[in-house]
Chain A
Amino acid sequence: MMRLLVAALLLATGVTFIVIAGIGVARLPDVFQRMHAATKAGGIGTSLVVLGVLVGSGVARPVTGILTVVFMLISLSVASQLLARAAYLSDASVQELDGRDALAGVLDRERGNDAGGGRSSMAD
């Protein structure tokens, strides 16, 4: 009984996180902020749901579930880092960010039309 309650709680919390992540992906104004919602809240929500399934269902193999959780937590962060780098290099808008563009001199935004605070290639 207690186990079912804990499992239901884990499942409901995970689904809530995923719904919030979905709202963030749809509503936030900027690629990087959408990525922030999708990666963090989505990853935590999925891990909680898989953990809840492991706790609650008698049939699920624990190895598969734990592998899924570990792999999701590792791969989502790595993949979003690659995706953020690619988005920055392909001239995504950074106008919604606070402060200056910290990558302005580090990564070269080639062929840009100065969409954000990045370096303009029109000068050279």
Chain B
Amino acid sequence: MTMPDLATVARVLIAVLAVPLALSAYRMIKGPGYADRLVALDMLTAVVVSLAALTTVATGRRAFLDIGLGVALINFVSTCAFATFLERKGGPR
């Protein structure tokens, strides 16, 4: 039995990650309130960080892991800002 190398595994897993990407896109389009869309944005960022990490393995370039760290940093600031805006706005929807 021949083992597939790790780059192949990473390519397959990148294809699998299209499923949560599509599901969070569905929630972002459909989601009844602003809070649902912000949760979908959070989920989307988690998927993107994983995609960046898997691309590091698939291509062998270490810069993609730095992209993951950058996206994670930006996500924290943006979620805090959007949550503050939502809290200040108040009211339904």
24 sample A-B contacts, Cβ–Cβ < 8 Å, listed by A number: A21-B43, A21-B46, A22-B47, A25-B39, A50-B50, A53-B54, A53-B56, A59-B61, A71-B76, A72-B72, A76-B46, A78-B76, A79-B80, A82-B79, A83-B83, A83-B86, A85-B83, A86-B83, A87-B38, A87-B86, A89-B90, A90-B33, A92-B33, A110-B90
Q: A26-B24, A34-B27, A91-B91 are in contact. Are A64 and B65 (CB under 8 A)?
A: yes
- Please tell me if the beta carbons of A26 and B27 are within 8 angstroms of each other in the complex: yes
> Per-position contact with A for B38-61: 1 when CB-CB < 8 Å, else 0?
111011001101100110110011
- Please tell me if the beta carbons of B9 and A68 are within 8 angstroms of each other in the complex: no
Q: How far is the CB of B77 from chain A (nearest CB, A)?
A: 9
Q: Give the residues in chain A near B34, CB-CB below 8 Å.
A: 90
- Please tell me if the beta carbons of B39 and A49 are within 8 angstroms of each other in the complex: no
Closest chain A residue, CB of each to CB of B59:
A59
Q: How far is the CB of A49 from chain B (nearest CB, A)?
A: 4
Contact of B92 among A46, A50, A76, A91 (CB under 8 A): A91
Closest chain B residue, CB of each to CB of A35:
B39
Contact of B49 among A21, A59, A68, A79 (CB under 8 A): A68
Secondary structure at the A interface, as helix, strand, loop or mixed, is helix
Count B-side interface residues using an 8 Å CB cutoff.
55
The CA of A1 and the CA of B22, in the complex, are separated in Å by 34
Output the residue of B19, B50, B79, B91 with the most chain A CB within 10 A.
B50
Q: Give the residues in chain A near B84, CB-CB below 8 Å.
A: 82, 86
Q: A21-B43, A68-B72, A115-B92 are in contact. Are A92 and B49 (CB under 8 A)?
A: no
Interface residues of A (CB under 8 A from B): 1, 4, 7-8, 11-12, 14-15, 18-19, 21-23, 25-26, 31, 34-35, 38-39, 42-43, 45-46, 49-50, 52-53, 56-57, 59-61, 64-65, 67-68, 71-72, 75-76, 78-80, 82-83, 85-87, 89-92, 110-113, 115
